[in-house]
Amino acid sequence: MKMKLREVYSALKIQSDSIEDVEITGVCFDSRKAKKGDLFFPLQGERDGHEFINSAIANGVSATIWQSDHDIPNDKIAYVVVKNVSNAFETLAKYYLNKVNPKVVAVTGSNGKTTTKDMIAKILSSSNNVAKTPNNFNNEIGVPFTILNMPTNTEVLVVEMGMDRFGQLDHLSSIANPDIAVITMIGEAHIEFFGTRDRIADSKMEITNHLQEDGTFIFNGDEPLLLERAKKIEQAKLTFGNHDSNNLYATDIKPGKTTTKFTTNLWPNLEFEIPMMGEYNVNNALAALLVGQISHIKPEAMQKALSELFVTENRTEWLKAKNGADILSDVYNSNPTAAIEVLNSLKAIKTDGRKLIVLGDMLELGDASEKLHESLAPYINADDFAKVYLIGDDMKYLREKISHKYETSDLLWYGKDQLTDLTKDLETELKPSDTVLLKASHGIHLENVLHDLI
């Protein structure tokens, strides 16, 4: 970003006779990360952002926004008075987006949106100046922040969009006006708030509400809920997935512990490799490949880009226990779709010793929680996993469903307050040749067990 404060006034349609000639090179809303050249936005969070303006000034910001219902500051820094800070934040983002005028790719989905965003950005970077959402800044603050901090020479902007309520994606889409909209999948995330997968699908489709007329909608064609809703979309449509009815699908997948290789129907003689495990990540790559294809990136360049990928947020990681056992850790997020995917991935990997799994409650599933925890049962069998450790009230339902498959000594359940007992039992049981999966929602705090194991 690069503009004079005078241009900020103009973009926000504010008239003033006395505007300081200050150059703005970025925006921030976290005073701890403020730096010279920044325009500080005191956004309302758990605390009023105006409380942190002095801290932002101390850290060197060049100017600040100030909401008119607060006492007007003294003259120790240039400032812009607005009626509403959040509205000004979005208005300036829309202005700057139109000024730079990059091609915009918007990505959402119940799982895989951050990984897919990174894959798309990496592929498109082979021929373009690309900016992307940092980390998972994907809400009403993150999307404008992403836009306002893109360099002035950005040719493509890849924006991740999250959702936890109706209307949110419609709003985010109205800010970014994407040229390409991508939906990775429909899962059960936030089903406590939406009630059904149908309603989740309705909300995800909001990303297309402000898709450019000549834009393209790319989505998972294995999902009937999306296929049904896509019929109403007039823009171009492309699908990816496992079935050969899709425009792009994988023809040969070779799973590995830290990499996954695959070929596709469109480029049968080209083997792609991604530096992560899991067939589900192949679908994320297929979505990115479609974006690359319609952006005229050569297949060989896309192949090279995926092989060199560094993922912003790869929650699933391999670690070593103190005794040398392999740990597949995913202790910060879990839902039925993600749990099934990682279980299937672990099954497909060859290991020297036994495979053990530790599963904690999947939170925010609402009234459907019992059935959704039970839905993991078909994917857990003694032939694949030697011992099963379950934690949390709702994992009792899964225990009941798989109790006939295991001896009592091989199927253990713990309350959320029994993590110390779980850790001791794992330390006693784990052999150096074993592989153990740890997966749960963050509220279970399996990271404490992981810490002790390693």
Contact criterion met (CB below 8 Å) for 181 and 287: no
Contact criterion met (CB below 8 Å) for 385 and 356: yes
Q: Is 371 annotated as a binding residue?
A: no
Query: What are the angstrom distances between the C-alpha of 304 and each of 50, 118, 123, 250, 293?
Result: 47, 14, 8, 17, 14
Q: Is 203 annotated as a binding residue?
A: no
CA atoms of 247 and 237, how far apart (whole Å)? 9
Q: Is 111 annotated as a binding residue?
A: yes
Q: Is 45 annotated as a binding residue?
A: no
Partnered with residue 216 across adjacent β-strands are 180, 236
Q: Is 64 annotated as a binding residue?
A: no
Q: Is 109 annotated as a binding residue?
A: yes
- Own/partner long-range contacts of 226-233 (Cβ < 8 Å, ≥24 apart): 226/183, 226/186, 226/201, 229/201, 229/202, 229/205, 233/208
Q: Is 115 annotated as a binding residue?
A: yes
* DSSP states along 68-120: TTSPPP-SSSEEEEES-HHHHHHHHHHHHHHHH--EEEEEE-SSSHHHHHHHH
SS3 content of the chain, % helix, strand, coil (to 5): 40, 20, 40
Sequence ranges of the binding site for ATP: 109-115
Sequence ranges of the binding site: 109-115
